[in-house]
Amino acid sequence: MPVDPHTMYRWRTWTHEQRETILRERQQRGNPFHSPPHRVSDETCLYLITAACFEHRSIIGYSEGRLQQFTTCLCDLITKSCNKIFAWVVLPNHYHFLAQISELKFLISQLGKLHGRTSFEWNGQDSVRGRQVWCKAAETAMKSEGHFFATLNYVLNNPVHHGYCMKWTDWPYSSANDYLETVGRDRALQIWKNYPLFDYGQSWDPPEL
């Protein structure tokens, strides 16, 4: 079963009783308490990777400099660790990227090291030693062409969806400009209309490209 990256977002909205129920169910199924197992798909090497700051706090976006620096580090890492990157975005409290990945476990381990380094650095800068900065990265395997293109739209539209900007191209910490330059605005709009974001809670309205 593909991992649902939105589960870790919903956790903070649940009551203590709901959390206890979920943990008991995971224990009965033999699943880990805090993070999903990373399962390599036998059918695809295309994955959406998502990671968020603990409790969705804006730790990445504490300052413009931190956001820029982390974006550079993340892009360097995934460029070296992925076969091909289709879309990526970094927001103040989480990031996504859609990529072709042949060594998923290796990539996840590299992201874990990046999270560890940035946690130590940022907690020192913010004088909050011991603070939990990250939830673990989660992957979702692409199940179909439609799933892939809807996910592509989701990643690129994420800054608009979360209210950080009005247009894809207004957010500097994503691959939106490169994507539009590569496929063209007409093709991008066609992909948006042909693959609506049903499961991602989006509308049918075309984006401001």
What six digits make up the tokens of 64? 């413009």
Last residue in a domain, options 114, 143, 172: 143
pLDDT of residue 1: 33
Low-confidence ranges of the chain (pLDDT < 70): 1-43, 198-209
Whether residue 170 is found in the same domain as residue 111: no
Whether residue 156 is found in the same domain as residue 127: no
DSSP state of 173: S
What six digits make up the tokens of 172? 């500097």
What is the Cα gyration radius of the chain? 17
Nearest to 152 by CA among 137, 174, 127, 120: 174
- Rounded CA-CA distance 132/67 in Å is 18
- Rounded CA-CA distance 187/183 in Å is 6
pLDDT of residue 170: 95
Whether residue 37 is found in the same domain as residue 60: yes
Q: Residue 201 sits in which domain range? A: 144-209
pLDDT of residue 14: 59
Bridge partners of 49, per DSSP, are 97, 139
Coil, strand or helix at 93: coil
Entry pTM:
0.77
- CA count, 13 A, side-chain hemisphere, 204: 1
Domain tally, the chain = 2
Last residue in a domain, options 106, 121, 143: 143
pLDDT of residue 174: 98
**How many Cβ atoms are within 10 Å of 87's Cβ, its own excluded?**
22
- Rounded CA-CA distance 133/57 in Å is 8
Q: Are 173 and 71 in contact (CB under 8 A)?
A: yes
- Rounded CA-CA distance 109/198 in Å is 31
Q: Residue 208 corresponds to which amino acid?
A: E
- pLDDT per position as a tens digit, 153-171: 999 999 999 999 999 999 9
Whether residue 162 is found in the same domain as residue 138: no
Whether residue 74 is found in the same domain as residue 168: no
Whether residue 127 is found in the same domain as residue 153: no
